[in-house]
Chains A and B, each alone.
Chain A
């Protein structure tokens, strides 16, 4: 097929990506949108196979078969609680692929170990290797932290910012030297490869588990930008367009996550959370409650708002929580689930878990709607959430989370907090919600506590 014909099909594919992404914006149209986007991808792949540049198919068939099996098995088997890890791995795969595409392009052009590409193309190859490489190792570290294979606490080296700046400087220097003298076995090229991988490690390691939503969104953006850079390197417009769409979407999500924590991106990337002061000490006593009394409060309620956090996912309590919600509805109460933008380990994580547990999506409400509602809510039930409901974010200027938008559960008539123990949250910040006049603590495993409440309803 002629390059023009191929590019015409690429235009159709790009349009399908755009329409598909637009349709992903509404729950009713989203499944269809994803299918349209997949159709665009299939079209683009098939037409590329007709390109005159492709002479042999054995490696292509083998590679696609292998990748398809691995991807399909992973996608089918994954538990929804482990979605953040899987998305991290997929991000990393995309980044690695873009790195390899850039590298292969420059390798394929080489005559006697020296690349024969334009200066511009060489620079974009270097960009695809650097962004692709840091996406790869960054995603691996994120995966390690999310899956519990590595400590999720921030690991900050002395002179962390200096190390990162030094690595970026080395990568840029390597690029300049490589463009001027493009030897593939020379030191500049090795510098580019090495610093790319190191940058991913040093930039994700200092970030703590609770900040993971930001990191996942940012790595998503990088994987798109890496594809764009590879597109420049091989002169493929569809790579540039599709990569840029993903890069932009990842940036938007990153921004939403940062705002939801009232922190700048730089602050998330360069300072481990929890190193700050723990805020003003809190005086008072927490009021424990048993399942029986909590049941009586819920039974009398006309409106109940559940506020789930990562603790719900850890306890695998989403199914019993849904059942409890149904029991309350049968009892005549209005039931909603209020979800903070950074609850869980990736953007929208709690929503997926509750949707999987069969909670209707019109019952899932965001922070703004929840806060309008909570003033006239009878009971708010906090399940495994902590910092995102801590009133210190509104009131205590000394608190490290001061200024962060929160779900104001303390505005509800009564708050029931399900929690394992009376310890501080992930950020190490004491939560004054637990000591509030209208707060009752239901201590214990979230799943066990919810089941106990449910048992009371069934009796």
Chain B
């Protein structure tokens, strides 16, 4: 049953994602991509648990590496998106 529940959530989320993104104008495709890429760094949550739970040396090492990669993804992704979005101005706002 749990597997079915998780699959249920997955399918609804995918449809929600389609709805959210399909109206984004072409001008914003790059920031959209890097911003959503930062969200995919959510795997950091799993990495934190893996690195912090004492499930044996190997598992912790793998978890540590996962934390490093996921942090690069999250921090870099959000910062570069923020930097990019600041470029998008109308002339009269400048």
A237 and B6 contact, CB distance less than 8 A? yes
Q: Are B59 and A356 in contact (CB-based, < 8 A)?
A: no
What is the distance, in angstroms, from A117's C-beta to the closest C-beta of chain B? 12
A59 at the interface (CB under 8 A from B): yes
Q: Is the interface of B mostly helix, strand, loop or mixed?
A: helix
Task: For chain B, residues 46 to 84, give those with C-beta under 8 angstroms from any C-beta of chain A.
Answer: 46-56, 58-60, 62-84
User: Are B17 and A246 in contact, CB atoms less than 8 angstroms apart?
Assistant: yes
Kindly list chain B residues whose C-beta atoms are within 8 Å of the C-beta of A91: 37, 40
Please judge, given known A-B contacts A66-B68, A93-B72, A360-B91, whether A49 and B48 are in contact too, CB under 8 Å. Answer: yes
Most chain B Cβ neighbours within 10 Å, of A35, A101, A223, A256: A101
Query: Are B31 and A30 neighbours in the complex by a CB distance under 8 Å?
Result: yes
Q: Which residues of A contact B9 (CB under 8 A)?
A: 237, 240-241, 244
Contact of B85 with A34 in the complex, beta carbons under 8 Å: yes
Shortest C-beta distance, B53 to chain A (Å), equals 5
Tell me whether A41 and B30 are in contact in the complex, defined as CB-CB below 8 angstroms, given that A71-B79, A230-B46 are known contacts: no
Nearest to B80 among chain A residues (CB) is A75
A55 touches B79 (CB 8 A): no
Query: Among residues 69 to 107 in chain A, which have CB atoms less than 8 Å away from a CB atom of chain B?
Result: 70-72, 74-76, 78, 80, 83, 86-87, 90-91, 93-94, 96-98, 100-101, 103-105, 107
A74 to B32, CA, bound (A): 18
Q: A48-B49, A74-B76, A78-B80 are in contact. Are A248 and B69 (CB under 8 A)?
A: no
Q: How far is the CA of A241 from the CA of B16 in the complex (A)?
A: 10
With most chain A CB atoms within 10 A of its CB, the pick from B40, B62, B86 is: B40
Bound together, the chains give a CA A66 to CA B65 distance in angstroms of 10
Q: Are B42's CB and A352's CB within 8 A?
A: no
B20 / chain A contacts, CB cutoff of 8 Å: 18, 21-22, 25, 245, 248-249
Question: Closest CB-CB distance, A260 to chain B, in whole Å?
Answer: 9
Q: Which of A198-206, A342-350, A406-414, A435-443 contacts B (4 or more CB under 8 A)?
A: A342-350
Does A94 contact B34, Cβ atoms closer than 8 Å? no
For the complex, what is the distance from the CA of A220 to the CA of B33, rounded to whole Å?
7
Q: Please report the C-alpha to C-alpha distance between residue A76 and residue B77 in the assembled complex, in whole angstroms.
A: 11
Q: Which of A278-286, A305-313, A361-369 contacts B (4 or more CB under 8 A)?
A: A361-369
Residues of A within 8 Å of B41, CB to CB, are: 41, 93-94, 97, 227
Partner of A104, one of B24, B37, B63, B71: B63
- Is A138 an interface position by the 8 A CB rule? no
Contacts of A366 in B (CB 8 A): 25-27
* Complex interface bits, A190-217 against B, C-beta within 8 A gives 1, otherwise 0: 0000000000000000000000000011
B5-35: contact bitstring with A at CB < 8 Å (1 yes, 0 no)?
0100110011111101111111111111111
Chain B, Cβ-Cβ closest to A65: B71
**A361 cross-chain contacts in B, Cβ below 8 A:** 27, 88-90
Alpha-carbon gap, A379 to B73, bound state (A)? 43
Q: Is there contact, CB below 8 Å, between A34 and B31?
A: yes
State which residues 239-254 of A face B: CB under 8 Å: 239-253
- CA of A346 to CA of B44, assembled, Å: 26
CA distance A349 to B44 in the complex (A): 28
Report Cα–Cα, A234/B49, bound state, in Å.
Answer: 10
Within 8 A of B (CB), among A336-390: 339, 341, 346-349, 351-352, 355-356, 358, 360-362, 364, 366
A238 contacts chain B at the CB level, 8 A cutoff: yes
Nearest to B23 among chain A residues (CB) is: A25
A105 vs B10: C-alpha distance when bound (angstroms): 20
Q: A166 contacts the other chain (Cβ, under 8 Å)?
A: no
Interface residues of A (CB under 8 A from B): 17-18, 20-22, 24-27, 30-31, 33-35, 37-38, 41, 44-45, 48-49, 51, 53-57, 59-60, 62-64, 66-68, 70-72, 74-76, 78, 80, 83, 86-87, 90-91, 93-94, 96-98, 100-101, 103-105, 107-110, 120, 216-217, 220, 223-224, 226-228, 230-253, 256, 339, 341, 346-349, 351-352, 355-356, 358, 360-362, 364, 366
21 residue pairs from A and B, CB less than 8 Å apart: A17-B39, A24-B24, A25-B20, A31-B82, A59-B52, A60-B67, A63-B64, A67-B69, A68-B71, A71-B71, A72-B75, A80-B87, A97-B43, A97-B73, A109-B55, A241-B13, A242-B39, A244-B9, A244-B16, A244-B17, A245-B36
Given A224-B36, A226-B43, A355-B89, 14 other A-B contacts at CB below 8 A?
A33-B35, A53-B52, A54-B49, A59-B63, A75-B83, A217-B33, A220-B36, A231-B43, A233-B46, A240-B9, A242-B42, A244-B16, A250-B36, A355-B84
Cβ-closest 8 pairs across A and B: A67-B71, A248-B17, A108-B55, A348-B29, A71-B76, A63-B67, A54-B52, A244-B13
Q: Contact residues of B with A, CB < 8 Å? A: 2-3, 6, 9-10, 13-18, 20-56, 58-60, 62-91, 94
